[in-house]
């Protein structure tokens, strides 16, 4: 399941989530929390969720930063990268042995941050122009906040693309790579796994492309009206995960 818009809004618990997660545990149903937000490490996210009243272990959290690091570690072990992002991304790359540098890096890696620097973006543009491969953690153009939408990685990636003519490779949702790694993490198969998310353009489409049934909850970004704009549909649309309480063993009954 996705995190922001499904479990929490910023620092606020979405009503019923704690009961829903406890029911999953009581029924021995494994789950993984996925987030395209690369700002925080799993440890940070565990602490953040704990403050809202949710006890989700680090091992049950999979971020686009971790997926990106796994991808780069397989593609070019021991490589180098110039990173525009925060600790979730830099820590993940350090953990796979990457050197972070602005001197002829193998990759420019763009992630989420609330403090995008014009200087850092300019450096990224110049490095991509010189031949560094362009990677972005996720294509989300916006993210939610209590005050409204925020520009996210996809918007800044578009700026770099417009300046360089180079499109990034997006690792996070809706890339099926992230979904397949999540399935492996909980030892699951697509036939008996579902994806719960609040966005049609990332959560639902990534679940569909990975062969999962999908549930869209209306507690985040997408609305009943925006659902109709897409050529694909979720298996089920609910107001929130609270509607799954009592139905976790057979959500589509």
For residue 139 the two structure tokens come to 């294509």
> Are 240 and 21 spatial neighbours (Cβ–Cβ below 8 Å)?
no
State the DSSP H helix or E strand holding residue 129, giving kind and residue range, or none if neither: helix 118-129
Q: Is the peptide bond before 8 cis (omega within 30 degrees of 0)?
A: no
Counting every residue written for the chain, the total comes to 253
Q: Which of 4, 106, 198, 201 is catalytic?
A: 4
> Is 2 one of the catalytic residues?
yes
Residue 140's alpha-carbon distances to 88, 104, 145, in angstroms, are 17, 27, 14
Residue 238 CB contacts under 8 Å (≥ 6 apart), including other chains: 215, 216, 217, 218, 244
Q: Which of 2, 106, 140, 243 is catalytic?
A: 2
Alpha carbon distance, N-terminus to C-terminus of the chain? 19
List active site positions.
2, 4
């Amino acid at each position: 399941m996705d995190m922001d818009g499904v479990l929490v809004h910023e620092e606020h618990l979405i009503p019923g989530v704690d009961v829903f997660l406890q029911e999953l545990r009581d029924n021995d149903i494994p789950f993984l929390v996925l987030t395209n937000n690369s700002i925080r490490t799993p440890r940070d996210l565990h602490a953040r969720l704990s403050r809202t009243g949710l006890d989700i272990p680090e091992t049950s959290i999979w971020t686009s930063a971790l997926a990106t690091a796994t991808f780069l570690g397989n593609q070019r072990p021991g490589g180098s990268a110039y990173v525009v992002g925060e600790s979730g991304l830099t820590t993940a790359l350090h953990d796979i042995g990457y050197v972070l540098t602005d001197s002829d890096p193998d990759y420019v890696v763009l992630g989420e941050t609330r403090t995008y620097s014009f200087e850092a973006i300019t450096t990224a543009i110049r490095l991509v122009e010189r031949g560094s491969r362009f990677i972005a953690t996720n294509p989300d153009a916006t993210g939610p906040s209590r005050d409204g939408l925020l520009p996210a990685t996809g918007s800044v990636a578009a700026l770099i693309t417009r300046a360089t003519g180079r499109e990034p490779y997006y690792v996070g949702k809706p890339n099926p790579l992230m979904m397949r790694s999540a399935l492996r993490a909980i030892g699951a198969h697509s036939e008996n796994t579902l994806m719960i998310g609040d966005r049609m353009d990332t959560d639902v489409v990534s679940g569909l492309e990975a062969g999962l049934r999908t549930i869209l909850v209306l507690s985040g970004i997408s609305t009943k009206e925006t659902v109709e704009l897409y050529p694909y549909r979720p298996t089920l649309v609910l107001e929130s995960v609270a509607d799954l309480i009592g139905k976790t063993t057979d959500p589509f009954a």
